[in-house]
């Protein structure tokens, strides 16, 4: 799966979590733009892990602040598995 496919799949997963209908770009932040709280982040990460059959460590999660960083991380993780 290439980065564009990963991006498209994550876009469909983020839809139910994007309560404000924010336009998603690589620079969209989860904390500020999407206003995700910690519970939302946990639910969203679980959804991604199930869909891509990967595990995103707590350390990795702490480093991911933007949508683009998430897509890159998921792409790298699923490419390595």
Domain ranges of the chain: 3-80
pLDDT of residue 80: 85
pLDDT of residue 46: 97
- Structural class in CATH, domain 3-80: mainly alpha
- Mean pLDDT on 35-45: 95
Is the predicted pLDDT of residue 81 greater than 80, yes or no? no
- Mean predicted lDDT score pLDDT of the chain: 96
The three state secondary structure string of the chain is: CCHHHHHHHHHHHHHHHCCCCCCCCCCCECCCCCCCCHHHHHHHHHHHHHHHCCCCCHHHHHHCCEHHHHHHHHHHHHHHC
């Amino acid at each position: 799966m290439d980065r564009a496919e990963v991006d498209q799949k994550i876009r469909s997963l983020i839809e139910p979590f994007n309560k404000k209908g924010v336009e998603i770009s690589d620079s969209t932040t989860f904390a500020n733009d999407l206003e995700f709280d910690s519970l939302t982040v946990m639910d969203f990460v679980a959804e991604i892990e199930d869909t891509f059959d990967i595990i995103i460590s707590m350390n990795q999660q702490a480093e991911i602040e933007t949508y683009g960083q998430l897509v890159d991380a998921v792409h790298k993780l699923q490419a390595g598995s």
